[in-house]
Amino acid sequence: MPSPIDLHAHSSASDGDDRPHELIAHALSERIGVLALSDHDTMSGIPEAAEAIAGSGMTLVPAIEFSAQVIDPIPGAIPRSVHLLGYMVDPGNAVLAEEMEKIRAHRDDRLRVMVEKLSVDYELTWDEVSASMPPGATPGRPHIASVLIDKGYFPDTTAAFAGPLRADGPYHVPHYAPRLHRALQVVRDAGGVPILAHPYTGARSGAVRHDQNLRAILADYQEFVELGLAGLEIDHRENTDEGKGVLRAVAAEFNLIVTGSSDYHGTRKPNQLGENTTDPAQFERILEAASGSDLVS
């Protein structure tokens, strides 16, 4: 199997800077052997990436990254956002297609409301935001950020997300995300292999609460595994060093697949292709468990 293996990257089909063919060209220049295109809640970038990769010697892994929710058994608990990577899913699967369309419709409605709220204080229109989205792209806050950056309001995405686009800000509108058990079911029904992305981050979408001890974390993950979870993305820049140790203990306890990935988005985030990679033996475990789609080379 060619290496290095980077199993988490985004294109302009969701919130990445690069068109799918540009992402492939960049990965080739970095001598990536295997790359997963895992856009948020869409697989619309896969055909363009597949065309670009043909005959290059690199291998493309069809993938998707679902936003999902976990609700803790605590009175009044606010749902926690988690991200679930689905590898080798069948893009033509009816259950997957239905869920992607539901997510996209909710995201579109939500973004329109956010633009309307922001337009009171910023020169911003829905037509401008819509024009910034490539065909088939998953509508999201990065597309608003792109317009605000182009107009000089903010220097980069990080600043925009720390400002008016922050999740606890006055312009924020929540979007639909399936419960984790539903997302796991969708990935499994589509023949894919579900792996939790960056589960131990402090800032966003972490599946581990930092106030939990190891016993509580193991109890949570036993439930996730029983629901179909296959692995954990451990080597990721946003997992803390302490968190990586905790996650390796969880992976060992439940014999989970362990991956490492860049979570590359382009120039507006520091993540670089190949900065974290997956061991070939762990990637083989994904291939053995998958039945939804084939690798593209």
pLDDT per residue as tens digits for the range 41-51? 999 999 999 99
DSSP state of 235: E
pLDDT on residue 74: 61
pLDDT on residue 156: 85
Let me know: does 23 contact 269? Beta carbons within 8 Å: no
* Residue at 105 is within a domain: yes
Would you call 237 exposed, middle or buried from its count of C-beta atoms within 10 A (0-12, 13-18, 19+)?
middle
* Residue at 297 is within a domain: no
Q: Tally the C-alpha atoms within 13 A of residue 13's C-alpha that lie toward its C-beta.
A: 24
Domain coverage including residue 148: 5-289
pLDDT on residue 23: 98
CA nearest 259: which of 21, 28, 87?
87
State pLDDT tens for residues 171-228: 999 888 999 999 999 999 999 999 999 998 755 556 666 566 777 788 888 999 999 9
* Residue at 296 is within a domain: no
Tell me the pLDDT band of 136, cut-offs 50, 70 and 90: confident
pLDDT on residue 77: 59
The domain total for the chain is 1
DSSP state of 137: P
Tell me the pTM.
Answer: 0.89
* Residue at 295 is within a domain: no
State pLDDT tens for residues 258-288: 999 999 999 878 899 999 999 999 999 999 9
Q: Quote the mean pLDDT of the chain.
A: 91
- pLDDT over 70 (residue 73): no
- Could you tell me the CATH number of the domain that includes residue 144? 3.20.20.140
Q: What is the mean pLDDT of residues 105-129?
A: 95
* Residue at 276 is within a domain: yes
Tell me the pLDDT band of 240, cut-offs 50, 70 and 90: confident
Size of the chain in residues: 297
